Amino acid sequence: MLELSHVIQAFGQLAGLDEQEGEQWRALCQSGLDTLKEMLRPGADTPENCHRLTMAAAAIAYYRYCLIVSGQEVHTLKAGDLQVSTDPGRSLEQAAALREEFLRGAQDCLCRAPVVFRQVNSL
């Protein structure tokens, strides 16, 4: 059966957070779990499916976490001749791919596919 504490633990592993830091994102993990539960087929929340469903809920929370922190990250740090840059868009793409992969892994437990919005290029 799905448990919030397991989702928080899995989320922390995906986000690279320790237990205490992961616990600070409890509401976000609850939101990811609620989203997943809305997609579940009746009777799919069984011990056999628990790990896949927990990881899918954690991946949903992780994607949302990346959305939040991507606007808060330092993008470029310059010290003398040394410059280090990060690309928050890339980490967001990776989080989306991870979310989709875990949802695909639990697809047989879901009654509807999650809605995924994608940007399209103009002609």
Query: Would you list the DSSP string of 53-64?
Result: HHHHHHHHHHHH
- Residue written as tokens 């997609």? 39
Would 84 be classed as within a structural domain? yes
Alpha-carbon torsion (35, 40, 46, 49), positive or negative: negative
User: Residue 118's pLDDT is what?
Assistant: 67
Would 53 be classed as within a structural domain? yes
Would 120 be classed as within a structural domain? no
Would 62 be classed as within a structural domain? yes
Would 117 be classed as within a structural domain? no
Task: Read off the pLDDT of residues 10-65 as tens digits, 9 standing for 90 and up.
Answer: 999 999 999 999 999 999 999 999 999 999 999 999 999 999 999 999 999 999 99
**How many distinct structural domains can be found in the chain?**
1
Q: CB–CB of 2/57 below 8 Å?
A: yes
Domain of residue 65: give its range: 4-109
What amino acid occupies position 93?
Answer: E
Would 114 be classed as within a structural domain? no
| CA 116 distance to own-chain centroid | 13
Would 81 be classed as within a structural domain? yes
Task: Read off the pLDDT of residues 72-117 as tens digits, 9 standing for 90 and up.
Answer: 655 566 677 776 655 555 688 999 999 999 999 999 999 865 556 6
User: Residue 121's pLDDT is what?
Assistant: 73
